[in-house]
Amino acid sequence: MWFSVKISKLLLLVAVSSVAASVDNDVKIIGGFPAQQSSTRHQVSIRQKSVDLALFGSGHFCGGSLINDRTVLTAALCLVNEEGKRRVASYFRVVGGGLNRLLQTQNTVIANVSKVIIHENYDPNTVANDIGLLILDKPVESSHQTLRTIELATSRPVAGSICQTTGWGTTVYGLPMVTVELMAVNVTIQPIESCNGTGSYNGIILDGMLCAGEITGGKDSCQGDSGGPLVCGGFLAGIVSYGKGCGLASYPGIYSDVVHFREWIDKHKHTSGGENVKFTV
């Protein structure tokens, strides 16, 4: 289907991100502005470890959100290979605590991944159930100044709500360029009926998805932002999933609905009281 192009281009970013890192540019989320540390401390960068070890920051390919001291919530599409199979934990590293993805400071947190969990009904063809978790190999300190957990939304955002999404992704659809500084953009929750209309996504938006952006276009997440947060009223309400291009009129971005998947998240997130439920491919 036509939206699968965006996913394959996302995976391409992994191979070319080391080149992009050396380019002097100010690319950003579509229609966005520089993010503020105080409101984005939950944001993490998901990276290909082998690439990032060679050049810090160059391994970035997806975003994620810290939801407890050892759990990062992200999109399933960020956790699979080109065949749709789950990647091994050693493929990833998670970096948080800063706005500049190339800069390593005393506040930078670098964590390896001990477990990769993908929704058992994730479908890469329809992008249904596009949700997954990375379990970190060590906890993030609750007192950390620039990396904190974010609470999950308990109610679905209503149409017309203004929310914010953030990421280090590209500003031009299809170009392998990622921003150095974390960027943010405010987007409007759109009625699913409108987004599923014949002049828009024409019925392909499924249960468990949110539609957010502007009908007139110009404000959106893009490649390299996938898996990142959609925050509404200070709560994590969505996960960047897919879209037709980036910032196109009549095609707002599509996000996985955190409230819809709340039971699944609570079941599979890391808990200090015991071992997580095991995931099988």
Q: What is the pLDDT of residues 133-167, one digit of tens each?
A: 999 999 999 999 999 999 999 999 999 999 999 99
Residue 168 lies in a domain: no
Residue 124 lies in a domain: yes
Query: Is the pLDDT assigned to residue 102 strictly greater than 50?
Result: yes
Compute the distance between CA of residue 252 and CA of residue 263 in angstroms, rounded to an integer. Answer: 27
Residue 140 lies in a domain: yes
Residue 151 C-alpha from the chain's centroid: 16
Helix (H) or strand (E) holding 267: helix 262-268
Which CATH number do you get for residue 110?
A: 2.40.10.10
Mean pLDDT of 231-238: 98
Number of H helices, E strands in the chain: 4, 13
CB distance 170 to 155 below 8 Å: no
Residue 114 lies in a domain: yes
Predicted local distance difference test score (pLDDT) of residue 25: 27
What total number of domains does the chain contain? 1
Compute the distance between CA of residue 19 and CA of residue 17 in angstroms, rounded to an integer. Answer: 5
Compute the distance between CA of residue 188 and CA of residue 212 in angstroms, rounded to an integer. Answer: 5
Mean pLDDT of 108-114: 98
Predicted local distance difference test score (pLDDT) of residue 243: 81
Compute the distance between CA of residue 200 and CA of residue 244 in angstroms, rounded to an integer. Answer: 9
Domain holding 144, by residue range, is 41-149+262-268
Query: Is the pLDDT assigned to residue 176 strictly greater than 90?
Result: no
Q: What is the DSSP letter of 51?
A: H
Compute the distance between CA of residue 186 and CA of residue 75 in angstroms, rounded to an integer. Answer: 20
